[in-house]
Structure 1
Amino acid sequence: MNAQSPPHPKRATLYRMVMVQHVCPYGLKAKDLLRRQGYEVEDRWLTTHEAVDAFKDEHQVKTTPQIFIEGQRIGGYDDLRRYFGKPVADPKATSYQPVIALFGMTLLIALATSLAMYGTPFTIRAGEWFIGSAWPYWRC
């Protein structure tokens, strides 16, 4: 009987900023993505601005985090997403989510106020409150 050895674990090295006043959110995202893809992560912290600058100079990169898989540099968080075949958000794309959230919250507040005042959320006054509250955002 031939005993099989366990599969070679997938390994990645992550260099990211972890400072007293700042922990890089993209470094955290990269670490999480690597773990979800089954990688053992060697998490190397860059704890000072001098260490970050020295790392960038040494590897000729402009940003951190930087991910290395089996010794090969993959790049930053967006590059890691591409490496795993995951979609990457277009930084130039227009997003209406903040606007929708803002008007949605304004509408909910107007409806809740109407419910508290008149016992029903759907009143003419609720519409007036919504328009009056949302008006400053429409002019932007």
Structure 2
Amino acid sequence: MTTSAARPRAVLYRMVMPGHLCPFGLKARHLLRSRGYEVEDHWLETREATDAFKAEHDVRTTPQVFIDGVRIGGHDDLRRFLGLKVRDPKATTYRPVAALFGMTALMALALSYAMTGSPLTIRGAEWFVSLSMCVLALLKLQDVQTFSSMFLNYDLLAKRWVPYATLYPFLEGVAGVLMVAGALTWFSAPLALVIGGIGAVSVFKAVYLEKRTLKCACVGGGSNVPLGFVSLTENLMMVAMALWMLAAPVLWPGLHAAM
């Protein structure tokens, strides 16, 4: 049986003030405890105490971790010391897109099951695309100006008519909401077809013809998602959805009425 005396020890200094509880201090404490360390937890409860600690140890930030009398550093330094990965804020990643489409797929399956008793239906596939459009529009609408600045780097129509970069999230959102409802298809489908088609051509030209390395504005202006296959797929999904919504009433006139 392991005793506390046999456990490795770490000393942690972190800010715990009435108006501020350092989240990285909590993360560092949790990480140390999860790795079996007995933590000597020192609170820096005032700004004066924090500044004095920084001056004494010649550091710029807190928390600070010490193991065996050696300063390891802050939370990221501790992760490196323990052999764990440290997130690079500048690195490109597809994680936001994967999370978005994963969640909208689950939402579509849930809606399909609630409405028809089966998670796998044609209407569920339509909801997946239209809900994805809604969520993508929502992310862009959180910061339209930042989105539009990124969008202007590659969208062909936005380069010619700058206001389109600001209007795009609203147009995508309107088309998505109407497609979720299955309403005003005569308006929503052509709208999605136009903006999706322009987007697909713009991405293909920038990435595959001009070989440019850009960040995608598809999930908002603050993302590090690279412009490329995923961005092209998003636009092609919108085009396919629009064509399907226009063709379905002609090819299968009773399809939606039966659901």
With the length of structure 1 as denominator, give the TM-score of the two structures. Answer: 0.77
Counterpart CA distance in 2 for 1:113 and 1:60 is 57
With the length of structure 2 as denominator, give the TM-score of the two structures. Answer: 0.45
**2:122 counterpart residue number:** 124
Counting matched residue pairs gives 134
Structure 2, unaligned runs of 5 or more:
138-217, 220-259
Counterpart CA distance in 2 for 1:106 and 1:8 is 49
SS of equivalent residue, structure 1 residue 108: helix
- 1:60-99, aligned counterparts within 5 Å? 60-99=58-97
Give 1:131 deviation, angstroms: 1.5
For structure 1, which segment, 66-75 or 27-36, has the greater mean C-alpha deviation from structure 2 after superposition? 27-36
Cα-Cα RMSD = 2.4
Structure 1, unaligned runs of 5 or more:
1-6
Cα gap change, 1:112/1:77 in structure 2, threshold over 3 Å: closer, same or farther? Answer: same
Which of 26, 29, 32 is the equivalent residue of 2:27?
29
Q: Indicate the structure (1 or 2) with the bigger Cα radius of gyration.
A: 2
Cα gap change, 1:31/1:122 in structure 2, threshold over 3 Å: closer, same or farther? Answer: same
Counterpart CA distance in 2 for 1:18 and 1:100 is 36
Counterpart CA distance in 1 for 2:100 and 2:58 is 41
Counterpart CA distance in 2 for 1:10 and 1:112 is 48
Q: Which structure: greater strand fraction?
A: 1
Work out the percentage of aligned pairs sharing the same amino acid: 62
Q: Comparing both chains, which one has the higher relative contact order based on Cα–Cα distances under 8 Å and sequence gaps of 6 or more?
A: 1
Counterpart CA distance in 1 for 2:113 and 2:35 is 48
SS of equivalent residue, structure 1 residue 18: strand
Q: Which structure: greater helix fraction?
A: 2
